[in-house]
Structure 1
């Protein structure tokens, strides 16, 4: 019996050619049709299930692939492993049990795999069994002997099985897996049971390659490689199972360029004179050969640096090899309708990256998932910078001490196993508050584990369930749909648009769930979709130049299950945009000038009367007079009391015109009294845009604070307001300095960097906002003395407006 804490169940696999069964007609792997088929679905068979050597940065000539048909069965928690017993079903490894390609296509929390193998006679050394990834808790027996346990769904593990092997004949492996999925406290990324919305079908069990290889008793287990451009060298540490002298030789093609020897498990510096730098435009790689006591492995590396620095405009930006390169890429989820977490073939795994490169991208964000090593190898060869996310823990659930320990252990292992890939330039430990905790500490820890890369402490720190910005890490990451947002760098951090876009197009016959398909904005055809994308890229170009943004991540590479916002359909069968125009837009963005002169802002009307003003002294009727301008407001569902307009959560006063040029400087002033201050947003004054308000002078229910806001950005007062009390709110948009300023009762209360906004043509409205194309955030309270100004008032002028009172 094996321990049920955690329940580590076992599964056995038997290749049909090597396993005897009692029945004359044994079960076989059965192909199941997925909801959508990719171009590679029918290429998968028991004889070619991912046959490539899985570890490109540590290769050996001799190995045995154990992918193929294994025996399979559901397991019961606590039961004994089925040593020597045939199992009733057949599964194709390494496709997850929920996938069509596995031949099972259902979820199991506990499962057994079983198979046999033979050891080649010429293998005289130690034999190591390797699993590239199993989700989540795994126990392994060889010939009835338990040889290892492992927890972690995204990292590789291995075990020396030599002492468990028989001298000859068939050897038996039984593997038990337990995957609690979203009921557990482990990193699981976007897996949910069942998949829904922005979360997807889970992937349990063995989902990456399993293999055997012979090694010496003292052998190389890992190569830690970090380019050191300052020294024209590769910092190398040969991690080995024992001591000894290692020799490492670097080649550029067939030409040897550097050699070093020294002790294993110790820092070495391998000279690379006049290094040929790796860039997305020129992804040059060197070959590496390493020897230790007769053990020899092959590898490769690239020479590049990633850092922060100031550009000519004084802004902090991300630098590649000491130069600013705008990083532009898609959000890449890595899900498949036939294999879920596992691409059907290596060509399929490579396809997404090849298409991203062909679309003119130079970066890709690997979102909430870790890929097989060959994915990063392809990114290295193609020339794509990679932001690597850590798979998140469960959303909406506070992590326990056990959960936190799991997360940090797996995060450390993920970094250690991937930190030698040239393409990876940024680690992203958290996203949008999903299972986050102690964000600043974790960011510092990641930086300590790998000082050579940038750290994005929390992607989307401005939204959703994120903790307040810790100020840590190397960048401030803004998420805004449709966006893009316009964040600004600080003295110590770059600014990036970590997610924007999400434009969708329905493609009949290629939707995973036609009835449930959704996107942030759905357009009618490919032409409109392409034009909208090009417009967003032009907008991001201006944000890059004026605000100093260093990177953008568009959502997303392909449709994923119900999401229909990809460049490709989920089955990779249909391209949804004019790719030539997409490529041109991306290249124009990346290669555009780093800076652009700021816009010219007119001085505006002097004085503190404003350009329009509403005193709400009428006391009756449906018209509120504009005492300064010519834009009387129409009142809907409003009342009058105490020389003010009263609204009860469904009314407004519409001025009938866009009173403000929202692309420039302006100020909005109002007195307001809230009937209640709970979790709902309440907007006092706004101006309608095509989809969202250009600004919101408001109460933020999410923060329980008064605010002056753009979508995704809020200048928040530090004190929670009290229901039934009058407040004087003033929001100042200082476009010249890229700031939102909030004043409460004549005093400065908050400042927020917000670089750029659009000119909107919708009406200025009192008593509500607009979001997602709909009226929202209706005021429940009273409003008085609303004034708007076509310039940014000074502190003294705001104080003077307040002194006038109501």
Structure 2
């Protein structure tokens, strides 16, 4: 028997030796991070076990919860595809990083996608034995469907707001449960709100999009009757916190709330849920950027003496408003005191995570740097952040101007307008308890705007929804695709690069510089595309810092002379092709001397306090209507030098000088006007054409741009008295071949430009910032912009007068009549 066994064994061994080797099973797919063009200091800290592990909802906390961030299965989806329940998907993605990001491990765009994972509910949560299981999503871009064990438990549209679902009834037993998420994000192919996301970056001001799950996913047990939301609003005048507790389940339960400051009870109240309660706060310690004091808040849902549910939260006591300063101008207040908002523009993009910061420490880092640089405010630019960003703004003490993410830059298609408005109001609803948020901004530079009246209506509706904050109906109302000022909201907001902008407040609305700056510096090996752009590039750190400081000194002047209440510098960090940050896109290189940055920012906040700054009174100037220079151009150029061989021709009075629109002008060889004071410029002009091209009649060269332009504005097809970016415009298009008498006036005391056409006032524009002393020659027949000669006159000029004072309306009427 033993011999037989040995023989069989020998045979088996021989067969195994002759057989081909067994085919190994396919290895389980694994997640691998992609390689971003730039890595931040936090990139390597991200992995499957620590993908944003912090509790994601600081204003409504629970002790029991479980993060579902981590490695999920992933696959491209097609329209109409069946749910892949019970099927393993081929790829692995790290949630919650958007799929285009390197940290996701996918690093490509898909219009539609599947996510899949399993989870197990902890047995101690007592689901179906008094508790329910709630599944929470911070944000999914853009349309989402959620399935648990093949059952559809939630659908949601909107890339910036939260949603959740009670999934208890979809659970099967106590073992593993299957969770599948379908997402669709067509980004800029639709009318959906997208902010600065694009499927393909333009290497300019728009960036790589972020699709799918991009904020934390988590689950938690909640009682059958539970607290679903808190609405907290400080009321300093009444000395209370106005608190509404939203509840699911029974509506006959009571709410108990206790506020604590530094561990001591500061106030408490009990009352019905769903009703506004006035929680008294004894001797409130106010929140401000210099002292961001926060109270703890415990809220319980009770049935008699039995606690049914309990959550934690916090709040700050502060008020936002407006008041007239000592200079008579309306200004922004915090806690009933005028406070200038020195803000940084924050795009919220990361080279490794795109829309999602790699870690919570990275999210905090940006805001912490704002504080270290002397900023007291931040504009969250057409993006909505995860809750923990606002938590850090509350904790660190930064006032937030919150934008609504824009749709495409053109008008939102009619079919999408209701969705835009719904998402705007949902953004306000979800964020109206954050202490740091002080203003809502529905529109930016006209992007998506379809009608000026609709913009005003929307601003009014947001104000009605939240009357405790400012509403900035339209940031950059002077810019780009704007339909014009609706006159609604609390704020007049201009953008100007390099700026600063200097709109003046009215009796009802404060004014701000919504964007300015944009100075850039290239830093080798720290640029997304290996190159990039800025509004003005500088050669080195010292020059960049110097330009920033000088620009900010102008901000202080604008605050004191023009009355702006806030200024927003572009921007915190480089983003892709934009190289105008304080830091490189990877946050590894500091591009300015931050000590100088902080010093000038603090100087602005201290000096822009609304007290009377005093405007220097100009000298009376030379009397009479001849002026400090008069060129009749009757067969003689006087002391002007002709360039390009312009020719004498029939003028308005006698002869004038004809210009060909390409290279001809007259040069005074010196600056005739002291542009640091008041002045006026007059001339007769006849245009040979009036189309989309700019034509300048009289100007004076500055360092980069003309100090002023008496001109025909091709962009507006109207006459204008202009500074770069500021135009006092005539109301109608002029006729080619007809003589017009133009007078431009610079009035520094009133802070405006005025244009007169044929002896009558035709247009005015705010120009309250003082001008620098002259640096270039006075010229007739062209302008200067961006360092280059431009806007050559195609027509005839005659009877040119220059004055070292602001002519009165009567004098201008007399001058016009005398030349008739």
What band does the TM-score fall into relative to the shorter chain?
over 0.9
1:794 Cα deviation after fit: 0.5
The answer to which of 643-652 and 317-326 deviates more is: 643-652
Matched, 1:787 2:796: no
Match in the other structure for 1:224: 231
**Root-mean-square deviation (Å):** 1.5
Of the three residues 430, 434, 443, the one matched with 2:447 is 434
Q: Does 1:251 align with 2:260?
A: yes
Q: Does structure 1 residue 552 correspond to structure 2 residue 567?
A: yes
Query: 2:540 maps to what in 1?
Result: 525
One of 181, 187, 196 as aligned partner of 2:193: 187
Please say if residues 641 and 666 of structure 2, whose CA atoms lie closer than 8 Å, have aligned partners that are also in contact. Answer: yes
Q: Tell me the equivalent position of 1:164.
A: 170
Find the residue that maps to 1:737 and give its secondary structure.
Answer: coil
Distance 2:37 2:645 in 1: 49
User: For residue 116 of structure 2, what is the aligned residue in structure 1?
Assistant: 114
Which of the residues 597, 602, 606 maps onto 2:614? 597
Tell me whether 1:335 sits opposite 2:337 in the alignment.
Answer: no
The alpha-carbon deviation at position 536 of structure 1 amounts to 1.3
What's the counterpart of residue 35 of structure 2? 33
Task: Verify the 8 A CA contact 2:411 2:447 in the aligned structure 1.
Answer: no
Q: Secondary structure at the match of 2:417?
A: helix
Matches within 5 A, 1:720-739: 720-739=733-752
Do the aligned partners of 2:135 and 2:164 also contact (CA within 8 Å) in 1?
yes
Aligned partner of 1:59 in structure 2 is 61
| 1:24 Cα deviation after fit | 4.7
Distance across 2 between alignment mates of 1:359 and 1:287: 28
1:176-218 deviation line (CA, Å, top 9, x unaligned):
1111111111110111121120111111111110111111222
Structure 1 range deviating more: 70-79 or 565-574: 70-79
Counterpart check, 1:391 vs 2:400:
no
Tell me the residue number matched to 1:466. Answer: 482
| Secondary structure in 1 matching 2:400 | strand
| Cα distance in 2 between the residues matched to 1:682 and 1:468 | 25
2:767 is matched with which residue: 744, 749, 754?
A: 754
**If the length of structure 2 is used for normalisation, what is the TM-score?**
0.92
Report deviation, 1:677.
Answer: 2.6
Q: Distance in 2 between matches of 1:66 and 1:237?
A: 30
Q: Given the superposition, is the C-alpha separation of residues 485 and 654 from structure 1 closer, same or farther in structure 2, using an over 3 Å criterion? A: farther
Distance of 1:701 and 1:216 partners within structure 2? 67
- How far 1:549 moved relative to its partner? 1.3
Pairwise CA distance, 1:593 = 5.6
Residue from 200, 210, 227 that aligns with 1:203: 210
Contact 1:663 1:756 in 2 (8 A): no
Aligned equivalent of 1:241: 248
Q: Do 2:327 and 2:613's aligned partners in 1 also have CA atoms closer than 8 Å?
A: no
Query: Residue 697 of structure 1 contacts residue 731 of structure 1 at CA under 8 Å; is this kept in 2?
Result: yes
Is 1:644 aligned to 2:652, yes or no? no
CA contact (8 A) 1:463 1:712 kept: no
Map residues 600-749 of structure 1 onto 2, 5 A cutoff. Answer: 600-618=617-635, 625-626=637-638, 631-636=639-644, 638-642=646-650, 643-651=655-663, 652-749=665-762
How far does the alpha carbon of each residue in 1:448-477 deviate from its partner, in whole angstroms, 9 at most, with x for none? 111000011111111212111122211111
**Aligned residue among 464, 471, 478 for 1:448:** 464
SS, match of residue 392 in structure 1:
coil
Q: Which residue of 2 aligns with 1:621?
A: none
1:480·1:711 contact (CA, 8 Å) conserved in 2? no
SS for the counterpart of 2:707 is: strand
What does the per-residue CA deviation read over 1:146-170, in whole Å, with 9 as the maximum and x for residues that have no partner? 1111111111111111111112211
CA shift, 1:720, in A, is 2.1
How many residues get paired? 774
Q: Tell me which residue corresponds to 2:160.
A: 154
| Residues 371 and 396, structure 2, Cα contact 8 Å, conserved in 1 | yes
- Is 1:353 matched up with 2:367? yes
Deviation of 1:586 (Å): 0.8
Match of 1:566 in 2: 581
- Structure 1 window deviating more from structure 2 (776-785 vs 185-194): it is 776-785
Alpha-carbon distance, 1:120 to partner: 1.0
Mind listing any 5+ residue stretches in structure 1 that lack a counterpart? 1-21, 619-623
- Conserved in 2, the CA contact under 8 Å of 1:462 and 1:713? no
Residue 586, structure 1, aligned to residue 601, structure 2: yes
Are the counterparts in 2 of residues 694 and 757 from structure 1 also a CA contact under 8 Å?
Answer: no
**Pair 1:638–1:211, CA change in 2 (3 A):** farther
Return the alpha-carbon distance in structure 1 between the equivalents of residues 50 and 646 of structure 2: 71
Q: How far, CA to CA, are the matches of 2:237 and 2:796 in structure 1?
A: 64
Q: How does 1:277-316 map to 2 (within 5 A)?
A: 277-293=286-302, 294-316=308-330
How far 1:84 moved relative to its partner? Answer: 1.2
CA gap 1:226/1:128 in 2 versus in 1, 3 angstroms: same
Matches of 2:648 and 2:356 in 1, distance apart?
63
CA displacement at 1:589 relative to structure 2: 1.3
Q: Deviations over 1:296-330 (max 9, x none)?
A: 11100001111011011111000111111111011
Deviations 1:594-645 (A, max 9, x none): 3322113111111111211233333xxxxx624xxxx424333634332332
**1:237: how far off?**
1.2
CA distance in 2, matches of 1:548, 1:263: 46
Q: 1:212-253: CA deviations, max 9, x gaps?
A: 111122222221111100001111111222422111110002
Relative to structure 1, is the Cα distance of residues 23 and 591 closer, same or farther in structure 2, using a 3 angstrom cutoff? farther
Q: Secondary structure at the match of 2:474?
A: coil
TM-score, normalisation: structure 1: 0.94
**CA–CA distance in structure 2, aligned partners of residues 60 and 778 of structure 1:** 69
Q: CA deviation at 1:427?
A: 0.8
Contact 1:634 1:655 in 2 (8 A): no
Equivalent-residue separation in structure 2 for 1:368 and 1:468 (angstroms): 19
Match for residue 46 of structure 2?
Answer: 44
Q: Report 1:71-82 matches (<5 A).
A: 71-82=73-84
CA-to-partner distance for each residue in 1:374-401, whole Å, 9 max, x for gaps?
A: 0000000000111111111101x22222
Name the SS for the 2:709 alignment partner: strand
Structure 1 runs (4+) deviating above 4 angstroms are none
Alpha-carbon offset, residue 110 of structure 1? 1.0
Give the distance between the partners of 1:656 and 1:552, measured in 2 at CA. Answer: 38
| The one of 145, 151, 175 aligned to 1:145 | 151
- Structure 2 equivalent of residue 535 of structure 1: 550
Corresponding residue for 2:17? none
Identify unmatched segments of 5+ residues in structure 2: 1-23, 303-307
**Cα gap change, 1:603 to 1:91, in 2 (>3 Å):** same
Equivalent residue, structure 2, for 1:488: 504
Match of 1:352, SS state, is helix
Partner of 1:400: 413
Q: Is the 8 A contact 1:133 1:155 kept in 2?
A: yes
How far apart in 1 are the matches of 2:522 and 2:76? 38
